[in-house]
Amino acid sequence: MIKVIVVEDHPIMVEGLKNILRTDLTINVIGDYGNGKSVLQALEEKDHPDVILMDVNLPDVSGINLTTEIKKKYEDIKIIALSVHDEQPVIHSMLQNGASGYVLKNALGNEIIKAINTVMDGEEYLCTSTREALKSADQDLLKAIPRITRREKEILQLIGKGLTTIQIAEQLFISTHTVESHRKNLMEKFGVNNTTSVVKLAAEYKLL
């Protein structure tokens, strides 16, 4: 039995998803939550799901940031993004930050079930509309968005908050040399010569 939770703040959408999932006897919906705070609390207190169906736009946090936070603590949980957005940077950011699938909310019900089964098999799933959106995306933009590691993202977020190299090293329990190496790598990946530009571009690409 595949244990699934739904993270979505629109009750009608929640009920629709539950009705779709009830048609598959191998799937068990063990909970639904309307915001990021409640799902994080549930993950600490209750049985963990195998899959989370997650709205990209939640009232208290972006699905991108929530995905990052969940994957840090619970690597085995598969996350499938649900969204009305087919913009390439949003899709790219969700996948880069740990989502295993991306399904547009207007997708057919069987695509939701197919997505769950696919990610449980260890593969990535993009619904038909998402694949079409990526095909028609600006290829130059696709190439421009670099892939950054989880540690690089942590350092980038702290740089964005104004922390110095020493402060970052202390907070992450790493050496200042390691921090500087990551700074250099980030500037090379983004093709700029200062971390201020790195932070600005990362924000534009929705990597933060």
pLDDT digits 0-9 by tens, 63-122 = 888 998 999 899 999 999 998 877 777 788 888 889 999 999 888 788 999 999 999 999
Confidence (pLDDT) at 143: 52
Number of structural domains found in the chain: 2
Q: Which of 106, 140, 174 is the last residue of a domain?
A: 140
Pair (135, 193) in one structural domain: no
What pTM value is reported for the model? 0.68
Pick from 82, 97, 88: nearest CA to 135 = 88
Pair (104, 180) in one structural domain: no
Q: Which of 140, 170, 193 is the last residue of a domain?
A: 140
Pair (178, 125) in one structural domain: no
Number of other residues whose CB lies within 10 A of the CB of residue 172: 16
Pair (61, 157) in one structural domain: no
Pair (96, 160) in one structural domain: no
Instruction: List the structure tokens of 161.
Output: 């908050």
Q: Give the CATH number of the domain where residue 110 resides.
A: 3.40.50.2300
Residue 99 burial (CB < 10 Å; 0-12/13-18/19+)?
buried
Confidence (pLDDT) at 115: 96
Residues of the chain with pLDDT under 70: 136-145
The domain in which residue 168 lies consists of 146-204
Pair (106, 125) in one structural domain: yes
User: CA-CA distance, 41 to 174, in Å (whole number)?
Assistant: 29
Strands (E), 22-155: 27-33, 51-55, 78-83, 101-104, 125-126
